[in-house]
Amino acid sequence: MRKILKGRRFSVICILIFILIFLSSVNIFAVAGIEEGKNITILFTADMHDHLLPVKDEQNGVIINSGGFARLQSAINSEKKNNSNTLLLDAGDFSMGTPFQTIIRSDSPELRIMGKMGYDVVTFGNHEYDYRAAGLADSLSAAQKSGDKLPQIVQSNVTFPTDQDGKITASLQKLKQAYGDYGVKDYTIIAQNGIRVGIFGLMGEDAASNAPMSEVKFPGYIENAQQVVKILKQQENVDLIICLSHCGIWTDKSVSEDEILAREVPEINVILSAHTHTKLSKPIIIGKTIIGSVEDSCKYLGVINISRVENADWQLDSYRLQQIDDRLPDDPAILESVNHYKKLVQEKYFNLFNLGYDDVLAASPFNFQPVNKIIETHQEDPLGNLISDAYIYAVKKAEGADYVPVDAAVVPVGTIRGSFFQGNITVADVFSASSLGIGPDNVPGYPLISVYLTGKELKNVCEVDASVTPMMEDAQLFISGISFKFNPNRLIFNKVTDASLQRADGSLEEIEDSKLYRLVASLYSAQMLSAVGDKSYGLLSIVPKTREGIPITNFEAHVIKDTANGNNFELKEWLATTAYLQSFDKVNGIAQIPPYYKETHGRKIIDNNKSILALLSNPNGIALTVYTIVVAVFITLLIIVIMIIRRIRNSARRLSRK
């Protein structure tokens, strides 16, 4: 009996072993055979900046109507018709850039339309935090409470800091709650055609530095990515990892964050890059990581086709950018949604100022440069001149009889978000050109503020443009009221060789170092100028002051109000430009931008002289310090060399005597 039982047990064990071997072989076959050859199409956008409607843009020297969500939807539909196995993703900064942002807190049009368009997953960029923690919280809540289909949001390297008592601010608590209610995650898993896709979002270091009012913190993106990828690989057992990266690509490879990410975290299969508005007509391939980028403003839809190959790797089958322009039809459903939100923008925002979304403010007989070209060139620009001149004009008009003359107005290139082209310029166009931020009145748009700087600090402002711009292109400044000359070949922080006040009639006036001068800038720009001292390690000091010369600690207390017209509104950047455009001479009832703004006017003069005299003459205090140190080091080395030579000679003499 025992022999029979033992025999049966042996038979059962053999059968079980056979079944396990069979199942294992099936699984091995699946990995090595069935999985190989599977493919997926990734459709992606980035940095769309609220371009729900088409706008004028220059492409290869031709002005076209570019972008628009209804056209983008047609492109998406076409791609999905050709391949149903697709993912639709966005790498952040989907908001902030057109008047639609003015209703983001109350209606969240971007997330709701993107949900309707079929976006699977998106991440936040730095501009989603432009209305601060409370603003983003309101937007998430509005989207979540709408009941509309919404995209999943992923953001892995964000934290909510606490004070010494372990408490967080009320606005941060509100945002944290909104994150939870919406369902914002570190990462998400999507099963697509038998493929487990892990998708996570990152905020890069440069992008994080451009969200100073967010209140949240963004820990190191490399370390965070390594942690998330480890979880996706070891715990979630994903087949494909996609990073929605708001880090960016730079020409300088040593600071190109997404290329660094690809090298440091090679397990990421695809990086969809945003933040720097880079157009990659061909992908960057680093190791086995594919990097794609689609410029900005809904100009392109990125299309990446990849397939599974042996060893569970992925290969790039094709990559292209589908241009979004008037060759594409408008999708009727999306166009209807966009027009609905356009009406809300009019009712909830522009009606406050008795202006219409499509009202024509002026006409231009010529094209101004697109913003991307302004950023690429370090020189005086007519659009920068126009906007900075508008600040001075609008302050004078707003203050009326109480006007105190403004000596200079500053506009950083980074705050210019759109350009003007030949033809009519509407209210929406002007808002889009200066669309950033929000004021203490909680109304969208950065207000102008008034500060005072010494003459020496005014010269330092010029030096910021001359010395910092080559390292950080967004630091380029356009200054109304000052003419300065700089030599880009000179020592850093000593590039400016001459600076004078430039009055409205073009005459020049000496800047007195100790005298206080009135300067106007946006709330954001003035705060950034105040940080120059720290950023330059104290070498360039700029301390905004009151009229009495007292350093300013609360910039919001110095916002300029439009008191002359009796409405007491904050004087927003875009409203300043609106007022200035309307002041120009009219033809057939429409103001015309004068030919003056087709040219430059000696506000920023570049001297490329490389002679020794040009490079070393008229040194400032910084240069003198550097030169003194260099001379001291040289003299020290010379003395050491002389001493060594003497010792050698003395040794040689002693040897010769022997």
For 416-448, give the DSSP string.
------SEEEEHHHHHHHT---B-TTS-BSPBE
Average the pLDDT over 262-278 and give the result: 97
Residue 612 lies in a domain: no
Q: How many helices (H) and strands (E) does the chain have?
A: 19, 26
What is d(CA 260, CA 258) in angstroms, rounded to the nearest whole number?
5
Q: What is the pLDDT of residue 658?
A: 62
Tell me: do 78 and 202 sit in the same domain.
yes
Same domain? 463 vs 598: yes
Q: How far is residue 411's CA from residue 476's CA, in Å, rounded to a whole number?
A: 9
* pLDDT greater than 90 at residue 285: yes
pLDDT at 657: 67
Per the model's pLDDT, the better-predicted residue between 355 and 528 turns out to be 355
Residue 28 sits in the same domain as residue 41: no
Judged against a pLDDT cut of 60, whether residue 29 lies above it is answered with no
Which of 469, 458, 446, 456 is CA-nearest to residue 521? 446
pLDDT in tens, 30-80: 333 335 679 999 999 999 999 999 998 887 778 889 999 999 999 999 999
Tokens of 365: 């007989």
User: What pLDDT is attached to residue 33?
Assistant: 34
Q: Are strands 195-203 and 240-246 parallel, antiparallel or unpaired?
A: parallel
In a domain, 590, yes or no: yes
* Same domain assignment for residues 249 and 145: yes
Q: How far apart are CA 86 and CA 84, in angstroms?
A: 6
Are residue 655 and residue 600 in the same domain, yes or no? no
Q: Identify the three-state secondary structure at position 382.
A: helix
Task: Looking at the structure, tell me whether residues 89 and 107 fall in a common domain.
Answer: yes
CA distance 312 to 15: 31
Same domain, 362 and 240: no
pTM above 0.85, yes or no: yes
* Confidence band, pLDDT 50/70/90 cuts, at residue 518: very high
**pLDDT the model gives residue 35:** 55
Picking from 54-63, 212-221, 269-278, which range would have the lowest pLDDT averaged per residue? 54-63
Kind and range of the H or E run holding 89: strand 86-90
Please tell me whether residues 458 and 559 are part of one structural domain.
Answer: yes
In this prediction, residue 629 has a pLDDT band, given cuts at 50, 70 and 90, of confident
Say if residue 385's pLDDT is above 50. yes
**Segment 141-168, tens digit of pLDDT:** 999 999 999 999 999 999 999 988 889 9
Task: Specify if 340 maps to a domain.
Answer: no
Question: Cα(first)–Cα(last) distance of the chain, in Å?
Answer: 111
Please classify residue 467 by burial: count the beta carbons closer than 10 Å to its beta carbon, then call 0-12 exposed, 13-18 middle and 19+ buried: buried
Q: Is residue 527 part of a domain?
A: yes
| 74-133 confidence digits (pLDDT tens) | 999 999 998 889 999 999 999 999 999 999 999 999 999 999 999 999 999 999 999 999
Confidence of residue 21 (pLDDT cuts 50, 70, 90): very low
Residues 555 and 478 in one domain: yes
Residue 328 is assigned to a structural domain of this protein? no
Q: Are residues 21 and 63 in the same domain?
A: no
Whether 4 shows a pLDDT value over 60: the answer reads no
Domain that holds residue 189: 35-323
6 — pLDDT class (breaks 50, 70, 90): very low
Look over the chain and give the mean of its residue pLDDT values, rounded to a whole number.
Answer: 90
Residues 82 and 15 in one domain: no
Which helix (H) or strand (E) segment holds residue 69: the answer is: helix 69-82
As for how many domains the chain has, the answer is 4
As a whole number, mean pLDDT of residues 512-541 equals 85
Question: Would you say residue 335 lies in a domain?
Answer: no
What is the strand order of the sheet 121-122 is part of?
A: 152-153, 121-122, 86-90, 39-45, 300-308, 314-323
| Same domain as 506, residue 361 | yes
Distance of CA 595 to the CA centre of its chain: 32
CATH of the domain at 553: 3.90.780.10
The pLDDT, as a whole number, for residue 543 is 94
- Give me the pLDDT at residue 485, please: 97
DSSP β-ladder status, 477-480 and 408-412: antiparallel
Taking the C-alpha atoms of residue 59 and residue 648, their distance in angstroms, rounded to an integer, is 70
Of the pLDDT bands very low, low, confident and very high (cuts 50, 70, 90), residue 653 is: confident
Query: Which pLDDT value is given to residue 9?
Result: 47
pLDDT at 616: 87
